[in-house]
Amino acid sequence: MLWDGITRRAFGVGSGGRDSVIDSPIAREPRRKLKIGLALGAGAARGWSHIGVMRVLEREGIIPDVIAGCSIGAVVGGCYAASRLDELEAFALSLTKRRVMGLLDFHISGSGLIGGDRLKRLLERDLSDMRVEALPLRFATVATELGTGHEIWLTRGALIDMMRASYALPGVFDPVKLGGRWLMDGALVNPIPVTVARALGADLVICVNLNGDIRIRGTVIQSHGPDEETEIVEAALEEPRRWGFFGPRRDAAASRRPGDGPGIANVMMDAFNITQDRISRSRLAGDPPDVMICPKLSPVGLFEFHRANDCIELGREATERALPDIYELLEAARKVG
């Protein structure tokens, strides 16, 4: 299927060039089958862009033999492997802010803010009987073991359970117990699982980095300290405003000024972005992909799941930009093979 896709691209199938493909000496040459792997990265709501990536690759006849997914990448990759990408795309496009909130079963007694049972029931509607061993291509997800920090590759079992374990963001979703281990989001250890795709037998790996466009490129500030006079003055002005006679003012959040500390939502999102960026850069430096697709997702918030249409289109655009590199890679591999 892979080389069929390359041949279609090279000789114009679909635009009146079918006969030239059949008669071409290149088309008749026996070729060694190279396995293509996709590593679909983590990134919460930005992961809807994986759908756009898959659509363009599918259109070009570039069909993966191996998919490794982390977090939202596990969801999209698993649905693709199970031939349920159409259903997932329809669901994603149907989301509104109101519906997203309706899917979140908040609680205060668990290990996270969200139990995840409503999302699980939604996945069961289309994937209830799916097992990874029965999928038509090699598929794996990445999770992190609670307590030890072990990187766990989930390669067998119920597809839904593997997805849930991979996207169990700490503090947000409850961890998932599989095989005697409590598992949480794989993004903590391997956000873009290129290593997994190679281990599953991929000769060439295309990865999708959902954080490549996020403008966090930390450096080292070698000398920093407080400006004591400024901080004393700011603290003196701040104290009466934050506190009333009976304690903290309830309207403190509404009266924030530019000099105030960030809100909890900003802290969580920045912490997640910084962590993803640092871990991703480190892992990719150790095992770089053959081609990296980087959708321009910086305008999309981590939890803006209602913006699926924007994300899918950004995924399409990024893949279109990467196609010359992908075909250059495939042609070089064909010559070597």
CA angle at residue 116 from 113 to 119, to 5 degrees? Answer: 140
Question: How many helices and strands, by DSSP H and E, does the chain display?
Answer: 13, 10
**What confidence tier does 85 reach under pLDDT thresholds 50, 70, 90?**
very high
**According to the model, what pLDDT value does residue 70 have?**
97
The phi, psi pair for 71, rounded to 5°, reads 60, -120
For residue 271, give the 3-state DSSP assignment: helix
Condensed to tens digits (0 to 9), the pLDDT of residues 113-122 reads 565 566 767 7
CA atoms of 273 and 213, how far apart (whole Å): 11
Mean pLDDT lowest for which of 15-29, 163-177, 183-197, 308-322? 15-29
Q: How far apart are CA 32 and CA 191, in angstroms?
A: 31
* Higher per-residue confidence, 215 vs 96: 96
- Flag the least confident range among 3-17, 39-53, 66-80, 239-253: 3-17
Burial of 153 (0-12, 13-18, 19+ CB in 10 A): middle
Could you read off the pLDDT of 121-174 as tens digits, one per residue?
A: 777 777 878 999 999 999 999 999 999 999 999 999 999 999 999 988 877 778
Strand, coil or helix: what is 322?
A: helix
- Helix (H, G, I), strand (E, B), or coil: what is residue 114? strand
Higher pLDDT, 292 or 258: 292
Alpha carbons 264 and 37: distance in angstroms, whole number: 38
Q: Which of 103-107, 253-257, 322-326, 331-335 has the highest mean pLDDT?
A: 322-326
| Contact present, 185 and 170 (Cβ < 8 Å) | yes
Give the mean pLDDT of 308-316.
97
CA 110 from chain center: how many Å? 25
SS3 content of the chain, % helix, strand, coil (to 5): 50, 15, 40
How does DSSP classify residue 103?
T
Mean pLDDT of 71-75: 95
Token code pair at residue 24: 């071409």
**CA–CA dist 69, 216 (Å, integer):** 23
pLDDT level of residue 242 (50, 70, 90 thresholds): very low
Tell whether the model's pLDDT for residue 246 goes beyond 50. no
CA-CA distances (angstroms) from residue 12 to 2, 16, 111, 136? 15, 7, 54, 28
8 A C-beta contact, residue 142 and residue 41: no
Position with higher pLDDT, 13 vs 86: 86
Q: Which residues are catalytic?
A: 71, 185
Residue 102 has pLDDT above 80, yes or no: no
Lowest mean pLDDT among 29-43, 170-184, 232-246: 232-246
Tokens 């999102």, residue?
Answer: 269
The tens digit of pLDDT for each residue in 12-67 reads 333 333 333 333 333 334 455 789 999 999 998 999 999 999 999 999 999 999 99
pLDDT given at position 325: 96
- 1: which 2 tokens? 């299927």
Residue 261 DSSP one-character state: P
Q: d(Cα 299, Cα 43) in Å, to the nearest integer?
A: 13
Range of lowest pLDDT (40-54, 251-265, 281-295): 251-265
N-term to C-term CA, the chain: 16
3 state DSSP class of 18: helix
Residue 227 has pLDDT above 50, yes or no: yes
CA 244: distance to chain centroid?
45
Identify which of 16-25, 186-195, 232-241 has the greatest average pLDDT.
186-195
Highest mean pLDDT among 61-65, 164-168, 223-227, 250-254: 61-65
